[in-house]
Each structure stands twice: as C-alpha cells, then as structure tokens.
C-alpha cells in the first residue's frame, strides 16, 4: 500500500467519490468513507472529497464529472484530486483552467509512486476560496514549484549514480594499467608479434622477454600490494632530473595494505601515478619564486615527498584524516625528507567541519556530505590558508590542492596570499562539481588557467571544465604566462618520471641493500 503524503489539517474524514479500490494509505487520523454521487448531501467542514481524473476518461472522471464534484464544495471546503498526469504536464492543462473557473486554490502538490494502481501520478489538494486576481498565478506557482523540486531530486540521483560509475571507471583504468605493465601481458604481446612476423619480430621478442625476466628476478614476490589487513612497504623510484646530491634515488612508503595510493604506486610507480600532474608540479617548483610548497589534501603525502626529495624548499602537507597523517609523517621520517604534516583541513573559514570518510576509497574522503557514500564521519579542525601563512610565516610559492570538491573553499580562504604572493597553483577539478565556484573565486585574481594533459604546451582556457573521462583531473592556475623555461622543465620531468617504474624501484632497492 502506498502512503499518500498530504497534510489535511482540520479534516477528519475523506469522502471517496472514485468508485474504485485504491491502494493508497491516508495520513494517520483520517477516515475514508464512500460517497454516493447520486445522493444530495452537504459536505461538512471537517470532510474532504477525493476524486479521480486522468487521460482515460472512460474509467476516470473527465472534465464535466470533476466540475460537478467541485461545485459541491462549500466555501473553504477541500478536495483531494488524484491525477493521471505528472505535475510537469499540468501548466496549460484544462484541469488548471477548471480549478480556476470554480474558484479553487491549490494548497498542496504531492507525488504518488509511479507503480500505484490506476495510473495515479500526482495528488492535488484544492480549497474553495473567494474569487481573486492572484488565484491563477498562485496555482501555477504551486504546480511549477513541485515540478522543479522533483526534477532537482532526479538530477541529484543521476549525479550520484554517475559519480559511482566514474569512480568505478577510475579503478578499471588503474587495473588496466596494472595488467598492461605485468610481465604476462608484455610477454604475450612479444610472442604475438613474433608469431605475426617470425623473422623481423624474433630479435625484438627476445630482447623484450629478457627484460621481463630480469625485471622479475629483481622484484620481490607479491609485488602487488594486498588489500587486506597489516602494513606493507613499497619502494618508489625517484626521478633523476634535478635530484639533490645527498638524496637517495628511491624512497619507501610504509602504509596499511588497504590504502589506495600505495597500491597504485606498487602497481605502476610514479611512471603511472598522475605522471602529467607530477611533471607539472615539479616544473612549477623549478620556475616559481622563493617560498614553500603546500600540499593541500595530501593523503599519504606523495606530492609533499617529491617536493622534499627534489627541491630545497620548505614543504608543508595538510591532511585532516589522522590515519593518512601518520603515513605521511612516517614517509618523511623514514626517508629523511624533512617536510611538515599538519593534521588540518583548509577551507574558506576557520573552525571545525565534518569529514565524511568514503566507503569506497580513502582517496575520496571529503568535507562535502553526499560526495561519496559514507558510513563513518569525524570532526576535524579547519583553518584558512591565509591564517596559516600569517601565523607561521611560511609563504607558499607552489600550492597543490586536491580535496575532493572543497577546492573552491580552499582557494577562497587563500585569496589574500594568492593576490599578495602569486604562487603557482595546481588544483583538482572534478567534472560537473566545482567549475562555476572555482571560476568565481579565481576570476578576480588575474591568473591564467590551463588544463594539465600529456600534450604540452598546454592551451590557455577561458573556462574551467573538468575532464568527464576522469583521465586528467588536475589544472594549472599560473600567475603569469609560462615561459620556455617552464616548458623545458616540464619536458625533463616527464622524461625522468617515465623511468620511475616498479621494476626500477625494486632493482634499486636490491642494489642498495
């Protein structure tokens, strides 16, 4: 039985004129009684008529039948109209003309489940009132407001479903990269090429098989990080370009086995973990003026670790989730990187906020309710970037922001610092979620906007539009037009990062131990 969600304050009885069995439950306290249309009897002040109207006038009431019923309403009397039309279909409909003609005001509009009997889709509550000039626009507004609210709900549901599909797509692409980098896949391709071209492919296949064998010999068993309990240690080969002389060629990260970023790094290394964004980030540290590097939304601290290993700049990581903070701090300590990790979220104003822990991935925790399904939440401290700079004196020259849809708030809280010190900003943009807000925050700051892709030089954009394929999520907001020095640095870092494979990491680890 379907609940009819209407409010009939002051009514204790509903007179059913439909003549059919209705699978509808009335609100508590209301009695339902059959009403004999042929009988001529008064409708009391505490009773309301219930009538049925739909496109199928042979079984449901048509215009004339409904008009006769509504004329029986006394002044102030009410009727519940069960309709076979959507609310969106009612503007311009004869039903609204009839309601106006009989001086009735629409007081409520409610939806009825589409699988309810007799094709009922909408319920209207109308009241008999004195004629007035504002009756027509009031009735139209009531119907339109309900239709808009229902459409917004449908759009929100579609966006939620789309978010889950996109998250699954990101995971599928990562799994595809892992498979393509596996020895079995590479061996299969080499043997396939050999089969298709026995003479020309023999030498190529032999070299590729030898590389695969050497790589597997230097790799510990179980390279892929398990998703179960316990901790794992993953070696990460560092890019050689620009590394300080006293820095090792690799670092290691020790983390709970269930965390997503360490699993990606175990499968793909830095060569497959956001390589375009990492190259842009490191190029920005090369050309930016004096100052610190801020990693906002640091997760386990990979961007902070790279800045600590590849530059001499002070580095600060901001991460509100204590579990990830512990991993980021151990990453710095184990590898002598010296960056600071603050257990702090950044936003538009200081205070506290609820951090919604994603049920799907630790990389999707967000301050925004509903971004991902969340069974667990915690209260976290929030500060503005401007306040942090004033308090600590650590002025950023490069800022990376990846906070799962709260990026506009982070940059709004950094507006003073950005205007005064002109840092280079790398920012995640999730399609359909933050673009208008980002544009409003950035428009007064005089920055240039570039979508970070694997094609360089990037094209300057006048609009911020997220990548709906979820392949390239990061944008560069530059305080000036990038010069040749930036593009040269970008090219060097891209080439250096391409060599940071898991095979190289395990080979380096074997040599160092």
| Domains, the chain, ordered by start | 2-154 (3.40.50), 274-492 (3.40.50.150)
Write down the pLDDT at residue 23: 62
Query: How far is residue 297 from each of residues 96, 292, 367, measured CA to CA in Å?
Result: 53, 16, 11
Decide which of 198 and 435 is more confident.
Answer: 435
Closest to 90 measured CA to CA, from 152, 148, 147:
147
| 100-114, 153-167, 310-324, 400-414: least confidently modelled range | 153-167
Residue 145 reports pLDDT greater than 90: no
Residue 19 reports pLDDT greater than 90: no
What ranges in 346-393 are assigned the alpha helix state H? Answer: 385-392
Query: CB under 8 Å to 15, separation ≥6 — which residues?
Result: 33, 34, 35, 43, 47, 48, 49, 50
Residue 165 reports pLDDT greater than 70: no
Contact in structure between 187 and 209 (CB atoms under 8 Å): yes
Most confident of 45-54, 214-223, 240-249: 45-54
Contact in structure between 135 and 105 (CB atoms under 8 Å): yes
Contact in structure between 376 and 323 (CB atoms under 8 Å): no
Residue 511 reports pLDDT greater than 80: yes
Q: Is the pTM of this model over 0.85?
A: no
Decide which of 76 and 55 is more confident.
Answer: 76
Write down the pLDDT at residue 221: 33
Tell me the pLDDT band of 201, cut-offs 50, 70 and 90. low
The dihedrals phi and psi of 475, each to the nearest 5 degrees, come to -120, 150
Decide which of 76 and 460 is more confident.
Answer: 460
Q: Label residues 143-170 b or e (16+ Cβ within 10 Å = b).
A: beebbeebeeeeeeeeeeeebeebbeeb
Residue 287 reports pLDDT greater than 70: yes
For 6-52, the DSSP string reads ---TT--EEEE-S-S---EEPPTT-EEEE--TTS--PPPTTEEEEEE
Q: Map residue 162 onto helix, strand or coil.
A: helix
- Residue 233's beta-bridge partner residues? 254
Please state at what angle helix 484-498 crosses helix 260-272, rounded to 10 degrees.
Answer: 110
The dihedrals phi and psi of 334, each to the nearest 5 degrees, come to -65, -30
Distance (Å, whole) CA 341 – CA 396: 15
Write down the pLDDT at residue 195: 75
Write down the pLDDT at residue 454: 92
Q: What percent of the chain has pLDDT over 70?
A: 80
């Amino acid at each position: 039985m379907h609940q009819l969600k209407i409010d009939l304050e002051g009514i204790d009885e509903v007179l059913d004129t439909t003549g059919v069995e209705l699978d509808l439950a009335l609100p508590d306290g209301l009695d339902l009684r059959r009403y004999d249309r042929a009988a001529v009897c008064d409708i009391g002040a505490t009773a309301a008529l219930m009538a049925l109207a739909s496109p199928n006038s042979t079984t449901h009431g048509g215009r004339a039948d409904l008009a006769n019923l509504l004329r029986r309403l006394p002044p102030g009397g009410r009727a519940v109209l069960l309709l076979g039309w959507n609310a969106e279909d009612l503007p311009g409909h004869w039903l609204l003309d009839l309601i106006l003609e009989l001086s009735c005001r629409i007081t409520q509009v409610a939806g009825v489940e589409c699988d309810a009997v007799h094709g009922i889709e909408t319920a209207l509550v109308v009241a008999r009132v004195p004629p007035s000039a504002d009756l027509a626009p009031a009735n139209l507004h009531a119907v339109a407001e309900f239709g808009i609210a229902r459409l917004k709900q449908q759009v929100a549901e579609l966006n939620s479903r789309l978010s889950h599909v996109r998250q699954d797509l990101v995971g599928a692409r990562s799994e595809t990269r892992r498979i393509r980098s596996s020895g079995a896949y590479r061996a299969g391709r080499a043997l396939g090429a050999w089969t298709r071209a026995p003479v020309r492919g023999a030498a190529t296949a032999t070299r590729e098989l030898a590389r695969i064998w050497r790589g597997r010999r230097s790799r510990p068993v179980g390279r892929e990080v398990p998703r179960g309990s316990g901790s794992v240690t993953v070696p990460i080969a560092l890019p050689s370009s620009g590394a300080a002389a006293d820095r090792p060629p690799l670092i290691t990260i020790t983390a709970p086995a269930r965390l997503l970023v360490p699993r990606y790094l175990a499968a793909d290394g830095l060569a497959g973990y956001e390589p375009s964004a990492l190259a842009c980030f490191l190029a920005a540290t090369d050309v930016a003026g004096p100052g610190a590097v801020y990693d906002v939304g640091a997760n386990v601290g990979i961007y902070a670790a790279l800045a600590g290993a590849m530059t001499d700049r002070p580095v600060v990581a901001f991460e509100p989730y204590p579990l990830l903070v512990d991993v980021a701090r151990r990453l710095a300590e184990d590898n002598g990187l010296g960056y600071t990790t603050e257990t702090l979220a950044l936003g538009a104003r200081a205070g506290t906020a609820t951090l919604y822990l994603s049920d799907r991935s630790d990389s999707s925790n967000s301050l925004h309710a509903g971004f991902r399904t969340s069974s667990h939440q915690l209260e976290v401290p929030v500060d503005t970037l401007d306040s942090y700079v004033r308090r600590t004196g650590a002025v950023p020259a490069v800022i990376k922001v990846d906070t799962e849809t709260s990026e506009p708030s982070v940059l709004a809280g950094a507006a003073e610092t950005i205007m005064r010190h002109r840092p280079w900003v790398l920012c995640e943009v999730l399609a359909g979620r933050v673009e208008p807000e980002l544009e409003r925050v950035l428009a007064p700051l005089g920055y240039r906007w570039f979508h970070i892709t694997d094609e360089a030089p990037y094209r300057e954009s006048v609009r911020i539009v997220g990548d709906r394929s979820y392949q390239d999520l990061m944008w560069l907001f530059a305080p000036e037009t990038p010069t040749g020095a930036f593009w040269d640095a970008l090219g060097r870092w891209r080439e250096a990062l391409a060599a940071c494979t898991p095979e190289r990491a395990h080979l380096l680890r074997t040599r160092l131990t």
